[in-house]
Structure 1
């Protein structure tokens, strides 16, 4: 089984925007560079040093409007630009505490008033992924097309906040890859686990409004709510859109 790498995405601030890339260099044992590099902690967070569970952060599962944010990152200055259809655009440096009040003023209206409110931006020195593994999320365009057909709605890739999208996979075959090695270009991944999905995937990423029962559909048609797999880089290398992939 072979195919091509269709899309690459990173999410500089966890739960706050997505950015398409043409290529990226990946290092063994590390997350995608700058992916979930920062996260927005809320007032009920109980943080520990290093990686923290997603319940400590503002995210689309609890604040659907956040799903409509898009982002761009200037790596040289660690400056992020966020855009939302209702809030417009903001450009700031997440590491600069002087920029925090301006960011909080911009983002707070996107958080439901009955939820814990955002209070700070944290950085752990590694990606604040939804798993404690230093992993990338790997997804299949064929599985997305199959789920879309079963639901009778065209589901955007942006609902799933994936890192790498593969063409050429038989629908849902990727869920059987756990324990196998995947080669993309010259980079090798070990597939570690399936990704269990949350309610953020029910949200339209264009509007930030809930509009599709993705979890119900997954459970009804497949008996689970998994979509995609986590892969850990075991051999470093660059990956680029259009690269061939294969199972090793």
Structure 2
């Protein structure tokens, strides 16, 4: 069976804003273009962007829930990002040369006792995704609805910070794709692993406040996984409405 792509999302600055796009071109061995292209290193790490490093080296929503309420708009031609937040308003800057602007703008969101945001780094080697390979995340709306129903409330898909959302398949069917090739429009990916979730998902993407026990809800299925991570093995342009399913 096949489903259809409903949403394509990228995150130009890791954990700082989300942006919907209409279409995207996937390339072998790469994440979505401009996805996690920058990250905010904190003052307890020497991360400089020259190599991939795990998420613990960066300021992220699991530690700073207020970041979840941020949206982004990227001007690719000038590498300029505009971020909006319900409490902070709007800021526009070039991460490569004006990173201090972002650090100052988000300072009030930082909880006490956490490593402070220190600098914006460009991911030189590859996108700063949470996987140790260049990944694209695939998210099933049916699985999302199953979580919402068990929790007893509607949830935004933005809690999961996924890349490609699809509908039309059974809940958790994506887990059966591990180790298999999946076709998305004209592109093909190899699904490598499930995505284990963290406290980031507890924060409401409209307010930034933790207001739902997502991890406890996932525990009722005997795991804390949502979505799968895939590696692009055949490139191609994809758009909302394209079919997705085992190749």
Deviations 1:131-151 (A, max 9, x none): 111010101000000110011
1:107 aligns with 106
TM-score, with structure 1 as normaliser: 0.97
TM-score by length of 2: 0.97
Could you tell me which runs of 5 or more consecutive residues in structure 2 were left unpaired when the two chains were aligned: none
For 1:26-45, list aligned pairs within 5 A.
26-45=26-45
Report the alpha carbon displacement of residue 168 of structure 1 after superposing the two structures with TM: 1.1
The CA deviation string for residues 26-54 of structure 1, in whole angstroms up to 9 with x for no partner, is 10011110000000000011427410110
Q: SS in structure 2 opposite 1:13?
A: coil
Corresponding residue number in structure 2 for 1:89: 90
- Match of residue 223 from structure 1: 222
More deviation, 221-230/102-111 = 102-111
**Unmatched 5+ stretches in structure 1:** none
Please name the residue that 1:201 is paired with: 201
Q: d(CA) in 2 for partners of 1:3 and 1:101? A: 43
> What is the SS of the residue equivalent to 1:113?
coil
The answer (yes or no) to whether the contact 1:66–1:111 under 8 Å persists in 2 is no
Structure 1's consecutive aligned runs of 4 or more residues displaced over 6 angstroms after TM superposition are none
Partner of 2:9: 9
**TM-fit CA distance, 1:103:** 1.9
The 3 A distance-change label for structure 1 pair 186 and 92 is: same
- Does structure 1 residue 212 correspond to structure 2 residue 212? yes
Query: For residues 163 and 100 of structure 1, what CA distance do their matches in structure 2 show?
Result: 24
CA distance in 2, matches of 1:153, 1:91: 34
Counterpart residue number, 1:55: 56
Q: Which region of structure 1 is more displaced relative to structure 2, 38-47 or 82-91? A: 38-47
Q: Distance in 2 between matches of 1:195 and 1:233?
A: 16
> Secondary structure of the residue that 1:200 maps to in structure 2?
helix
Tell me the matched-pair count.
Answer: 245
Q: Is the 8 A contact 1:5 1:242 kept in 2?
A: yes
Q: Does 1:236 align with 2:235?
A: yes
1:127 Cα deviation after fit: 0.8
